[in-house]
Amino acid sequence: MSEQRRPRPAGEVLQGARATWGTLLLVAPGPVLRLVGEHDPDPRSRTVVRVLGARHLLQAGFSGRTPSRATLADGAWVDVVHALTALALAAGDRPRARLALLDAVIALSWGTASARAARRVPLQEGRAASRRERLARAVHPLLPGAPPL
């Protein structure tokens, strides 16, 4: 008899993918930049890509293996702010505009995926909520423009 495996929650899969993406950006910024069309990435671009990789790793670490609704929602907010700053960079730095626009699209994709995953996770109340969940729920109302949980 084969034992049926429980499907992994969307948030868990998402954070695993985010950690993988962050690690790739952190350890191999040159190949990632070349993959998106930068033939000779400069040191500044490599550094920025590494910083973005570290951000993704920190976000995945904060969200945890099985992220709560609040941590996913807060992460979606961070991704949208990231996309807006990338759009500002695109407007102000012509040589890097194409890369900044690509980064904005990627950040919006992460934000959309996080928001969708958040809607599928039940809200935890009282003692059932972890410290991470309680912290995320405390921070959430302070985020400008963040929708209600």
The pLDDT of residue 4: 63
Give the model confidence (pLDDT) of 21-80 as tens digits: 999 999 999 999 999 888 889 999 999 999 999 999 999 999 888 898 899 999 999 999
Tell me, yes or no, if the pTM score tops 0.75: yes
The Cα angle at residue 82 between residues 47 and 123, in degrees rounded to 5: 130
In which band, very low, low, confident or very high, does the pLDDT at 7 lie, cut at 50, 70 and 90?
low
In which band, very low, low, confident or very high, does the pLDDT at 6 lie, cut at 50, 70 and 90?
low
- For the chain, give every domain's residue range: 10-142
Separation of alpha carbons 91 and 38, rounded Å: 19
Return the structure tokens found at 109.
């994709």
Residue 1 pLDDT > 60, yes or no? no
Residue 143: strand, helix, or coil? coil
Radius of gyration from C-alpha coordinates of the chain: 17
Q: Break the chain down into helix, strand, coil percent, rounded to 5.
A: 75, 0, 25
Is 69:149 a contact under the CB 8 Å cutoff? Answer: yes
Average pLDDT, the chain: 88
More confident call, 127 vs 1: 127
**Rounded mean pLDDT of 125-129?**
66
Q: Residue 79 CB: number of other CB atoms within 10 A?
A: 24
Provide the 8-state DSSP code for 123.
Answer: P
CB-side neighbour CA atoms (13 Å) of 55: 13
Give the model confidence (pLDDT) of 66-85 as tens digits: 898 899 999 999 999 999 99
What is the secondary structure of 21-39 as a DSSP string? HHHHHHH-HHHHHHHTT-S
